[in-house]
Each structure stands twice: as structure tokens, then as C-alpha cells.
């Protein structure tokens, strides 16, 4: 069955199409009686507005694109919830795409969203993204863009971030304050900015507290999803390479849980033999045994904030107002749990 049109309603009631349109929109120059007749018939016939035609008139689609590296991930799932919660308040639909940490796929997704004429795009970059031409081209086309979490500092747009360097410094300093003398770092891939900053925070905490930086204690977890298995493998390699490490700062909770599992398998006690701090405060970090100390990363708030920035820019462009790019830095905090409490318990 073909969709019901304004023309059909108008012909049935013997009134003009303009009157039908105004009645459905509650224009004051249409009588209450006519409005009632039009709305009742529209409901009976299951009339639905032609959204595509409305979009052409208003020059907006009321949709935004969201590109994230991974959907099934505690942090990103919270970001999605924050974005959708805010988008629904403004009547926006969110198209969610997963880049799988692939630069090539990310480029195709940007092109796809642009071809769909979304009103704006939110993106957390793939680990494989080292060239930003596709993003700069998007900006040149006057499409609003907001980055969050994994960003490119050289792309001139609004961003929502945390201070990864400061957070990593806090995590490493916590291990030092817990009495650790030889601290390793399981870092992410070499490319993403947040992985770089977390490594630099780790390194700075060591040097500021009189510890020599030893590159052999840094293990790169470069799988696209920085997985549980990679945590196990890195832990196994660490035990083969070093018998004196007593603390590890790990780039993500999932890798940390993998490492913890491997240590337990090999009879290494956490936290008595090796203390661990993860990153992101994934749900599982609070229910494993021992529970995992970690940096809490505010995913839901990041999502809400990112959408607010994007919406403000969409609105400004529609009203021909000047655009002011803004970087919002959200606070993180250390969540101390059982994986670092060995020395505190002995006092």
C-alpha cells in the first residue's frame, strides 16, 4: 500500500492541501473544527509526514553519524548511551558505525555518512588512522565534526577528551606509593594519541620519583581490540623476561584482566607479588577476584558532552553564526581496589 499523501486527505475533505498542512501543524488561522477533521482523518488513514521532503525544505536530516572503533566495549557502550540520551532530547537519530580500528573502513564510513547528508558526525579515531585528509576534507565541506577519546590534535575541530597523560601519571604514582620498585607498562599501539599520552604519563611518573626508565619494561599491545588474550600473552612474556617486576600499569582493563588471569595461572599472586592498575573502569574490573584498581573514564558524560558540542555547532551553522571550536577536558579519578592493596593491608 502506498503512503497516504496530503493531497488525498485534502480531496477527501474537499479542502486545499495548504489547509491540511496548516491544520496538522496547528496554525492559528485554521478553525478548530477543520483541525479536528483533518487530524482524525490523518490518524484513520495512518498518514505519516514525508520526512525526506521535510528535510529538503529545512536543509537538515535530524540524523547524526557516530563512528567508534568498537561497539561491544564497556567504555564505548557508555559513550553511545550518553550520546543517544542527549540526541533523543533534541529529536535526533544516531547512525552508529564501527570502524574495527581500521583506517580504510573509517574513511569509507565518513564518505557514507556524508553521502547520507547527516547533520554532523561524532568520531573516536581508529588505531590505524595516521592520515587525516578524510577528516579535513569533511570539514572543508562544512560538515560539523566533533572528536572524542581518540583524537587528532592537528585536526581543527571541537573535541572531548580526558588528560590521558595525567591519568597515567596518577596510576603509576599509585603503584609507587603502594611500594612497587620495578614497574612495567603494557601500552596500546604506537599510533593513537591516548596510547602515546598514557605511555608518557607512565614514563614521567617514574622519572619524577627517582626511578630509571627501562624500555624493556614496556610491552606493546597492538592488536586492534587490545584483547584479553593479548593481556595473557604479555604477562607470560613479562614473566619470562623479568623476575623482579612488582607492579604494572596497563593501558586498558580488558588487557589487565587477561594479565591477571595469566599471573594466577602461573601461581603469581596479585597483589602480593605483582600489583596492577588498569584503565577505564570496565564493569568486570569490579567483579573479578581480586578486584582491579583502575582509572575511571567518564564514558556516559563524554558522550553527552560530545553531542552537546555537535548540536551547538549544527545550530550555529543553520543560523549563520560564527563557529568557535572548543576542547572540553573531563576529569578522571583513580579507583583503588584489591589489586594494589598489599602494602596497605600490612600496615
Tens-place pLDDT, residues 259-290? 999 999 999 999 999 999 999 999 899 999 99
Query: Which segments of 141-278 does DSSP mark as H helices, in order?
Result: 164-177, 193-208, 228-241, 253-265
| Superfamily of structural domain 164-297+334-346 | Response regulator (3.40.50.2300)
pLDDT band of residue 57 (cuts 50, 70, 90) is low
Q: Name the fold adopted by 58-156+299-330.
A: Rossmann fold (3.40.50)
pLDDT band of residue 59 (cuts 50, 70, 90) is low
Residue 256: CB atoms within 10 A of its CB come to 31
Q: What is the pLDDT of residue 346?
A: 42
168-192 confidence digits (pLDDT tens): 999 999 999 999 999 999 998 887 8
Contact (CB, 8 A) for 149 and 173: no
Q: What angle do CA 232, 233, 236 make, to 5 degrees?
A: 85
Q: What is the pLDDT of residue 347?
A: 38
| Domain ranges across the chain | 6-49, 58-156+299-330, 164-297+334-346
| Global pTM value | 0.81
Nearest to 186 by CA among 175, 178, 177: 175
Express as a percent the part of the chain with pLDDT over 70.
94
| Mean pLDDT estimate for the chain | 91
Residue indicated by cell numbers 500500500: 1
Amino acid at each position: 500500500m502506498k503512503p497516504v499523501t496530503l493531497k488525498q486527505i485534502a480531496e477527501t475533505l474537499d479542502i486545499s492541501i495548504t489547509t491540511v498542512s496548516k491544520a496538522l501543524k496547528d496554525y492559528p488561522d485554521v478553525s478548530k473544527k477543520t483541525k479536528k477533521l483533518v487530524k482524525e482523518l490523518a490518524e484513520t488513514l495512518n498518514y505519516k509526514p514525508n520526512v525526506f521532503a521535510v528535510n529538503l525544505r529545512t536543509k537538515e536530516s535530524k540524523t547524526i553519524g557516530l563512528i567508534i572503533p568498537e561497539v561491544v566495549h564497556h567504555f564505548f557502550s557508555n559513550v553511545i548511551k550518553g550520546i543517544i540520551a542527549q540526541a533523543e532530547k533534541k529529536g535526533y537519530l544516531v547512525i552508529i558505525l564501527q570502524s574495527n580500528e581500521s583506517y580504510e573502513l573509517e574513511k569509507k564510513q565518513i564518505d557514507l555518512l556524508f553521502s547520507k547528508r547527516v547533520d554532523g558526525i561524532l568520531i573516536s579515531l581508529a588505531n590505524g588512522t595516521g592520515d587525516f585528509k578524510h577528516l579535513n576534507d569533511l570539514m572543508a565541506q562544512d560538515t560539523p565534526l566533533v572528536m572524542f577519546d581518540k583524537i587528532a590534535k592537528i585536526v581543527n575541530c571541537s573535541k572531548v577528551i580526558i588528560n590521558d597523560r595525567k591519568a597515567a601519571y596518577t596510576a603509576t604514582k599509585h603503584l609507587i606509593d603502594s611500594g612497587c620498585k620495578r614497574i612495567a607498562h603494557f601500552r596500546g599501539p604506537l599510533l593513537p594519541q591516548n596510547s602515546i599520552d598514557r605511555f608518557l604519563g607512565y614514563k614521567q611518573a617514574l622519572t619524577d620519583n627517582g626511578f630509571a626508565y627501562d624500555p624493556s619494561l614496556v610491552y606493546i599491545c597492538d592488536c586492534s581490540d587490545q584483547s584479553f588474550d593479548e593481556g595473557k600473552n604479555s604477562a607470560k612474556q613479562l614473566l619470562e623476561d623479568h623476575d623482579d617486576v612488582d607492579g604494572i600499569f596497563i593501558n586498558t582493563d580488558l588487557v589487565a584482566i587477561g594479565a591477571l588471569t595469566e599471573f594466577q595461572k602461573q601461581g603469581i599472586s596479585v597483589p602480593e607479588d605483582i600489583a596492577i592498575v588498569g584503565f577505564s573502569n570496565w564493569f568486570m574490573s569490579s567483579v573479578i577476584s581480586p578486584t582491579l584498581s583502575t582509572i575511571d573514564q567518564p564514558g556516559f558524560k563524554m558522550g553527552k558532552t560530545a553531542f552537546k558540542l555537535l548540536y551547538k555547532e549544527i545550530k550555529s551553522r543553520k543560523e549563520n553564526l560564527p563557529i568557535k571550536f572548543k576542547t572540553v577536558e573531563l576529569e578522571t579519578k583513580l579507583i583503588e581496589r584489591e589489586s594494589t592493596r598489599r602494602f596497605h593491608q600490612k600496615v
